[in-house]
Amino acid sequence: MRRRLSSVGFAALLMVIPLLAGCGYHFAGSGEALPGGAKTIYVDKFTNKTRFTGLNDQFMRYMKDEIALHDRLQVVDSPSQADLILTGSINSADTLPSSFNSALEPTIYDQTMMISARLKDTRENKIVWQTRGVTGLQHAPVVAQSITTTTPSFLKQNLRGGDYAQMQDIQVADTQTSFYQGALMQQIAQNLYSQMAEGF
């Protein structure tokens, strides 16, 4: 009986996949919306419109890593070597308190960022994709009491619950703010690549 149900389920899956493809659905990161024959990409330094110096330099690393992760395009060091050129700007970046303790002291901050980008095909000399706003949001706890040690984001860190209990609040705040800023940039880089590669 189990084998029969498994066979039926597998057959149904084989019927659904072509239907999804016919409807224009693509699996994330497949790069089917990228110009055919394009093999190389140059990621230009994004314009930084925020008050935070060096934010665009940090984001560059995450964007290049995300592109390289998918093995669809090779990141090159010069525009002259590139079939595609990705340019953009960091339009906003904010860190605002979102949770407070009984003394009205912030315990969690919301980190947000918005990025615009465009992709140019150098062979055709035209813009083939652009977006006016890819956004991201991360919640950064800044005191040990606000840290949930069982979340996937916490488990990615090198420190553990006992470590934070021994740290001063300013150390906890610095560590968590830095970690979640990186997580925010990674999140936006993933979203930007997905939209660029899938054409939405």
Q: Could you read off the pLDDT of 147-167 as tens digits, one per residue?
A: 655 566 655 665 555 666 666
Mean pLDDT over each residue of the chain, to the nearest integer: 79
Cα-to-chain-centroid distance, residue 105: 30
End-to-end CA distance of the chain: 43
User: What pTM did the predictor assign?
Assistant: 0.72
As given in the structure block, the two tokens for residue 138 are 């991360």
As given in the structure block, the two tokens for residue 132 are 């006016």
pLDDT single digits (tens) 50-96: 999 999 999 999 999 999 999 999 999 999 999 999 999 999 999 89
Q: List CB contacts of 185: < 8 A, sequence separation 6 or more.
A: 58, 59, 62, 113, 136
Whole-number Cα distances in Å, 88 to 28, 96, 111, 140: 22, 24, 20, 26
The amino acid occupying position 65 is D
